[in-house]
Structure 1
Amino acid sequence: MTELERVPPGIDPNVPSSARVYDYLLGGKDNLAIDRAFAERLLSVAPDTRLVARANRDFLVRAVRLMAEQGVRQFIDLGTGIPTSPSVHEVAHKIAPSASVVYVDYDPVVRLHTEVLLALDKNVVSVQADVREPGAVLDAPEVAELIDFSQPIGVLLVGVLHFITDAEDPAGIIAAFRDRMAPGSYLTLSHAMAESSPEAVAQLTTATASSPIQATFRSHDQVLALLDGFELLEPGLVPVHDWRNSDDLPLLPRDELPMLRIDGALGRLR
């Protein structure tokens, strides 16, 4: 392990992290050799994955901007990952400088980077917790101090749920947050789809099996079912590079689906 790969105590440098793999795909430097090796294996199966990762990040930006424009002034970003600009609070604060943002991730590397980044912003906090334990997130003192659940909030699960197995009950996780959200709140998610290239699904499922970043590919109907109780904004659940993307030069051609397909949606609580 090199000097640049020092990590906080408790981190196994021989085990890949979804946050650090994603950081590498986005061109970041906060990753280890094991993460880079895993990402390169993924790229060997689906070479357009870097573009998909960037399109997924751009989807998050557009969704947060829309929620802020609709009056949302508090956000919970679940499975934050290593900070990448523009982050949720940067997007929200351009529209509402007083917006409150809670970043949640179980990875201590993420917590370390986020705390350094946010040290001077009283309206933004970082919580080290696992989305698989929604009660621990919802009852965290930092959340209780910053989030008013009687008012609309924006909850983000961007690129997270495909790391939650069926046995870990992704629908139950969403329900725990939905039950605390006021009417008019929003849920944003993106998910790796079973409609990806069959070769990519087969190889990535095998590659991630029994690892901390085991991937579960779900169908369009299965992901829609996770959004039960939310009214989807147009255009519904679609590839992230297509979701309200008005850019003249989109990262991915709209008439072509990448080998690794990630769909995204934004739903409003009725």
Structure 2
Amino acid sequence: MQRQGTGEQRYKALKKKSTYQLLSGIAFWIFVVYIWLKLKSDSVWYWIAFVFLLAYYIYGEIQWALRTNNLFLEDIDLDAYRYFVGICKPGKTTETIYFTTFRKCRIELAEGRFKDALSILETTISNHSLEKVTTFRQLTIFRQLILCSIHLADEEKYQYWLSRLQGVATNRKSLLKLKDSLLEEMQAIHDLVINKQPNPFFETHPAKNKFSYLFNLYYKGINAQLNRDEEKALTCFEELAKDNEQLFIVQQAKEELRKAMIA
């Protein structure tokens, strides 16, 4: 997969395009509101127009946040996303500090640098109480810690962080559902990677974005191997091997294909 320019250049190009679209939209709606207000005499309408334009600006900012997140989740552009994370201010609250840590570690995990990711996570936890962040952030951080432990084959840490994830308390149904799903996912990955046992989790849980799809594809391939379905495993690895080589799962897929050719 070849990309034009550096990650910094691609990020700045996206930023420029998004800013242009936002400003163009604001200019258009200012013109529309101006013409509309010319027909109105009540000052209340001016406040309504102000609130509308403010809402449009906030909408534009939300769209920008989604676009930067999609650099990672949909474009799989790790270099552009890494540049974006690098220029973001970490913030001073515990929540924003952990959010920055989460962003950094998702790149490390994607590239297979599990020791580095674990070091970043454990350093943050030693300096800032994890209990002070939202339940959602706790769940995402524990997921990263467990993934590191599994791929480093550190059973002691795996059991510790798994118990921490199990101990997260919440009354919100959406978070309880997420917690249960994460526990099931972590058990599946542990079965496939450590126990070398088949687990159908990734066969029955659809991916929500391209990044998840690629990782599902990788674990489906491993599951197929464990089920002695070499044809399905090769199909998964062949599709995966066409994507971004920075992903450790793409490197692993190519290695599996190389082994198959030798065999």
User: TM-score, structure 2 length as denominator?
Assistant: 0.30
TM-score by length of 1: 0.29
